[in-house]
Amino acid sequence: MKFLFLIAFIHLLPQCTGKPLRWDDCHQHTFKEIKREIAGYSDIAKAIINLAVYGNAQNRSYERLARFVDTIGPRLSGSKNLEMAIKYMFSVLQDDGLENVHLEPVKVPHWERGEESAMMLAPRNHSIVILGLGSSVATPPEGITAEVLVVTSFDELQKRAQDAKGKIVVYNQPFISYKETVKYRLLGAAEAGKVGAVASLIRSIASFSVNSPHTGWQQYQSDVPKIPTACISVEDAEMMARMSSRGTKIVVTLKMGAKTYPDTGSFNTVAEIVGSKYPEQVVLVSGHLDSWDVGQGAMDDGGGAFISWEALSLIKDLVLLTVNEKLLFLLLGLRPKRTLRLVLWTAEEPGGVGAEQYYQLHKDNISNFDIVMESDSGTFMPMGLAFTGSDKVRAILKEIMQLLQPINVTNIYENGSETDTEYWVRDGVPGASLRDDISKYFWFHHSQGDTMTVQDPSQMNLCAAVWTVVSYVIADMEEMLPR
Ligand SMILES: *[C@@H]1O[C@H](CO)[C@@H](O)[C@H](O)[C@H]1NC(C)=O
Ligand SMILES: *[C@@H]1O[C@H](CO)[C@@H](O)[C@H](O)[C@H]1NC(C)=O
Ligand SMILES: *[C@@H]1O[C@H](CO)[C@@H](O)[C@H](O)[C@H]1NC(C)=O
Ligand SMILES: *[C@@H]1O[C@H](CO)[C@@H](O)[C@H](O)[C@H]1NC(C)=O
Ligand SMILES: *[C@@H]1O[C@H](CO)[C@@H](O)[C@H](O)[C@H]1NC(C)=O
Ligand SMILES: [Zn+2]
């Protein structure tokens, strides 16, 4: 039925070429027609859900991810591990039978933390757990020993600027939200450097702590002295704040052997299912392959990378039985009209470095990018799709999300642009990301706690189902999403 309907449609609209729909063009599908077209995918959506959640592909993205992170471990930008991870993915994507599996060269930052430690010497001896922040300079080999100034905000640092000279500034800012609080990690060293501090220690950007430091990238400013900087646990930050509020003098020795090397060669990893009708048009699904150098990078962003791979695998592996009045169709493997392209970004953590070079290289073809999707906020219990773009596209996505009624994940949220997709979204390409239950995400983020143990196979199955239904239907609809 559906096929006959589509064929009839194509004949009525011979001038349609799958280009972005403009609602005042000669021939565009009306919203009512689009709604009907989307509703026609309900059997396929159910088949995808069944395969991912209950069928042969149950737990597959979880098991693939576990094998990957157990084999490679963490994968910092510029590291040998990241190089191994890319080779590993290149090989398994080929073995999976995907098309156009290839690597696109990019240059990425190479920073290593080296040996690092911090000791409190006064008021008592205490070993402070630290993780140096990405791009930090080293201390001299004997370390920096100085008195501590504790502040809770940049404002307080300004007020006490006279006190900061020659000290180690400890930031004990409260955690409000990642988005709001992360500025202390990004700019803490630069702000402390401006007022003459010799180092800065920053309370980890974490919503919960078991004495674990959480690392991340930081940014120096060109006209400000570069001082060594590391994150400390919430527990140690709070203790030093308590000591200091009692007027107790705190002295710390910080040793960091961090080193920045010249940029190194890396790759974005790409695989496709080539479109049957508009192969030049692209629906991009993605996650980043690099991680921090602690834990396993299973959550950030192993999960996002592997449900994105799973989307292509599920489409390829789907066995569909469709019955119409007289005939029984057996479909082995779906092929959408447009190309479904998997990109595993390199060097997201230093600031979307691989993604920016990908954008520079491919932006000439921007009119062929239908939607850019990245999952980089966890693969816990899915709640829906976050989206950035026009109201018209939002209305279409709302219809598509109705196809996920069988697993009750039908919501659409704001702000669907992630670090690696924002280059496209800024230029008007619709952008989507997976929205899931992030209530524990910042417990583990960028810490030794980011391991396979926080991932859950059934939640990953559901995430993969959402990701696959959305990307497949957009890739297969007769027209591109409107711009
Ligand atoms: C998938 O994982 C769940 C939860 O760990 C388990 O109960 C189930 O047996 C697994 N299914 C397969 C096919 O391994
Ligand atoms: C503290 O550490 C220093 C140097 O490591 C050592 O000389 C000193 O005895 C220690 N103090 C106490 C009270 O243990
Ligand atoms: C742009 O798209 C065309 C058609 O698919 C393709 O042949 C070409 O390689 C693409 N160029 C870039 C830079 O991606
Ligand atoms: C479906 O999800 C919503 C939240 O999006 C929740 O409030 C509701 O209880 C769920 N319904 C079922 C049947 O699980
Ligand atoms: C979404 O983005 C807008 C503009 O960038 C911002 O004002 C808003 O707080 C964001 N909403 C959420 C829920 O993050
Ligand atoms: Zn990430």
In a domain, 192, yes or no: yes
- Quick one: pLDDT band at residue 10, thresholds 50, 70, 90? very low
Identify whether residues 103 and 127 lie together within a single domain: no
Is 79 within the bounds of a domain? Answer: yes
> Strands 278-288, 369-374: parallel, antiparallel or unpaired by DSSP?
parallel
- For residues 238 and 304, membership in a common domain is answered with no
Are 291 and 75 in contact by the 8 Å Cβ rule? The answer is: yes
Tokens in use for 152? Answer: 């809770």
- Ligand 3 atom 13: residue of nearest CA: 362
pTM over 0.75: yes
Ligand 2 centroid to Cα of residue 126, in Å, is: 10
pLDDT tens, 358-387?
A: 999 999 999 999 999 999 999 999 999 999
The residues lining ligand 1, judged by C-beta closer than 6 Å to any ligand atom, are 58-59, 457-458
- Cβ–ligand 5 distance for 177 under 6 Å, the answer no
Q: Is 415 in the pocket of ligand 5 (CB under 6 A)?
A: yes
> Quick one: tokens of 278?
């508009």
Pick the atom of ligand 1 nearest to 59's CA: 1
With bands split at pLDDT 50, 70 and 90, how would you rate the model's confidence at 323? Answer: confident
Same domain for 118 and 106?
A: no
The answer to whether residue 348 is catalytic is: yes
Q: Which atom of ligand 4 is nearest to the CA of 411?
A: 5
Question: How many whole angstroms separate alpha carbon 121 and alpha carbon 260?
Answer: 29
pLDDT of residue 327: 73
Residue bearing tokens 């239907």: 473
Cα torsion 272, 277, 279, 285: sign? negative
* CATH number, residue 340: 3.40.630.10
In a domain, 103, yes or no: yes
37, 116, 191, 348: the catalytic one is: 348
- Six token digits for residue 93: 């994507």
Stretch 164-191: mean pLDDT: 98
pLDDT digits (tens, 9 = 90+) for 292-320: 999 999 999 999 999 999 999 999 999 88
- Per-residue HEC secondary structure of 294-348 comes to CCCCHHHHHHHHHHHHHHHHHHHHCEEEEECCCCEEEEECCCCCEEEEEEEECCC
Q: What is the mean pLDDT of the chain?
A: 94
- Which protein residue has the closest C-alpha to ligand 5 atom 7? 415
pLDDT single digits (tens) 178-224: 999 999 999 999 999 999 999 999 999 999 999 999 999 999 999 99
**Residue 220 belongs to some domain of the structure:** yes
**Is there a single domain that holds both residue 328 and residue 408?**
yes
Tell whether 206 and 338 lie within a shared domain. no
**Which residues surround ligand 4 with Cβ inside 6 Å?**
408, 411
Ligand 4: atom nearest CA of 410 is 5
Residue 292 lies in a domain: yes
Ligand nearest to the CA of 284: 3
Name the residue with the closest Cα to ligand 1, atom 5. Answer: 457
Q: Is 482 contained in some domain? A: no
Of the candidates 195, 116, 212, 121, the one whose C-alpha atom is nearest the C-alpha of residue 151 is 195
Please identify, among 257, 279, 302, the residue that sits at the C-terminal boundary of a domain: 257
C-beta separation of 109 from 350 below 8 A: yes
DSSP letter string over 175-202?
---HHHHTHHHHHHHHHHHHTT-SEEEE
The residue contributing the CA closest to ligand 3 atom 5 is 280
Number of domains in the chain: 2
Mutate to test the pocket of ligand 3, among 99, 365, 366, 367 (most ligand atoms within 8 A of CB): 365
- 25 and 130: one domain? no
- Residue minimizing CA distance to atom 14 of ligand 5: 415
Q: In this structure, are 85 and 103 located in the same domain? A: yes
Range of the domain at 267: 2-110+263-476
Q: Examine the domain organization and report whether 69 and 216 are in the same domain.
A: no
Both 289 and 370 in one domain: the answer is yes
Residue 481, in any domain of the structure: no
Ligand 1 atom 2: residue of nearest CA: 457
46 shares its domain with 93: yes
Is residue 29, in this structure, part of any structural domain at all?
yes
Q: How far apart are the CA of 458 and the centre of ligand 1, in A?
A: 7
pLDDT at 9 over 70: no
Do 147 and 244 share a domain, yes or no?
A: yes
Q: Dihedral sign for Cα 169, 174, 178, 179, please.
A: negative
State the pLDDT at residue 21. Answer: 54
- Point out the domain boundary residue: 230, 257, 284: 257
Torsion of CA 450, 456, 459, 464, to 10 degrees: 70
Per residue in 219-233, is it b (16+ CB within 10 Å) or e — as a string?
Answer: ebeeeeeebbbbbbb
Question: Residue 50, SS3?
Answer: helix
CATH number of the domain that residue 236 is part of: 3.50.30.30
Q: Which of 257, 282, 309 is the last residue of a domain?
A: 257
pLDDT per position as a tens digit, 17-61? 666 655 444 457 899 999 999 999 999 999 999 999 999 999 999
Q: Are residues 76 and 128 in the same domain?
A: no
Residue among 181, 388, 415 to mutate when testing ligand 5 (max atoms within 8 A of CB): 415
